[in-house]
Amino acid sequence: MELISLPLVLLQISNIYAGQTEALSRATVRVTPDRSVFTGETVTLKCEIEDQYSNFTYRWSNSRTSVFNSEHYTVKRDTLTINRVTESDQDAYWCIVNRDGRPSLSSSSVNLTVKALPRATVIVTPDRSVFTGETVTLKCEIEDQYRSLNWRYWWSNRRTSVFNSERYIVNRDSLTINGVNESDQNEYWCIGEIHGRPQTSLSSSAINLIVKGSKPKPNIISETEESVLTASGSSFLGLTVGLCLGLSVMFLIFFLVLLWCYKNKKLSQSPSAFSPQQNISQTSDQKQTGNVRKAADHTYANIKLKSKKEMKKKKKDDKDTSADNESEAADHIYANIELKPKKEMKKKKKDKKGNASKGGDNVYSNLKKGGGQGVAFGSVDVAYS
């Protein structure tokens, strides 16, 4: 009995040990280069198990399907390689371990994150357009959220790659060109790459560096000259303002004088500028002037009418005249007209002023009538007002 019971005890002990080993065995997935990668990189997932046995088989899966060998995926025992990852490869991955005669093991899942490559930008100081002899600094800047990664930088232009030299200084993300000349005029760009991950290489957009001729020299003015220029400028400004004000005042005075002369001329021509006595005398003068003007519009004549006998006598003297002239003489009244100047008329008017005021504005004369053919003969004095 004792000999039979010993092997059973040993078998039980071995079973207990095997159960403890199974319980302790675990599978894990390790990702290279990182669980967060950029598009275009190659990612390797490796399934690791603590058990020392080597007779295992492996299977890979993600949240959508099982993963097998293909152009994009490479499965080689305990490793899964994803070539040139894209954003569609972002997923949760795990491995399954099959052991002969033993239960299979499943690893915990790992989340693979795929991002687009960041952008690089070149910043130029002091400017993209510089003068010969100046110092120019070009800096390659990556997006803020990715600057903490271990980036490496290279610089290039259209002719060649740029390395450290006497005139070019490369310090990680910056390139300094000392004493630029016209041969440095070119297009420059930077290339960034995360250390140990060559597939993360990215290139910035190119910037065009323009190198002009020599920088113009500034005009140096001493403090004394500057103060003189300032004082002369201030005096010139004051002189200009004073001249403008003086011209304005002169123009205003000239305008006021013209206005005063115009008003005086108006007052001298206005009737209201005279006294009442002057107005009365002016009114009488105006009336007399009006009468004179009316008299000037007429022709004054001293008319002497001839009698019928005198006309007959005249007719006999003029009997050689044609019959037409005789008939015209019979139809007209002949007068001896004597024109008098205006002064004589004014004198005559003053002499008869009393009679004219009594009889109105007209002067009537005595008329001597003679007989025959309704014609009045005689001496008539006619005065026109």
Position 318 scores a pLDDT of 62
Position 93 scores a pLDDT of 97
- Measured CA to CA, the distance from residue 92 to residue 99 in angstroms comes to 24
Average pLDDT on 10-32 reads 60
Q: Of the spans 197-201, 224-228, 356-360, 367-371, which averages the highest pLDDT?
A: 197-201
List 96's β-bridge partners, or say none: 59, 106
Position 371 scores a pLDDT of 45
What is the CA angle 94-95-100, rounded to 5? 160
Position 237 scores a pLDDT of 81
Q: Which residue has the higher pLDDT, 163 or 323?
A: 163
- Checking 329-337 for CB contacts under 8 A at 24+ apart, the result is 333/305, 333/375, 334/306, 335/301, 335/303, 335/304, 335/305, 336/302, 336/303, 336/304, 337/299, 337/301, 337/302, 337/303
Convert the pLDDT of each residue in 104-156 to its tens digit: 889 999 999 999 998 899 999 999 999 999 999 999 999 888 888 899 999 99
Structure tokens at 335: 């007068």
List 91's β-bridge partners, or say none: 112
| Lowest mean pLDDT, pick from 35-49, 205-219, 265-279, 291-305 | 291-305
Average pLDDT on 266-295 reads 51
- Measured CA to CA, the distance from residue 69 to residue 77 in angstroms comes to 11
Check if the beta carbon of residue 356 is closer than 8 Å to that of residue 349: yes
Report CA-CA distances (Å) from 120 to 32, 126, 168.
25, 19, 21
Q: Which residue has the higher pLDDT, 363 or 171?
A: 171
Model-level pTM? 0.47
Q: Which residue has the higher pLDDT, 337 or 108?
A: 108
Position 292 scores a pLDDT of 39
Q: Of the spans 31-35, 47-51, 115-119, 347-351, which averages the highest pLDDT?
A: 31-35
| pLDDT at position 384 over 60 | no
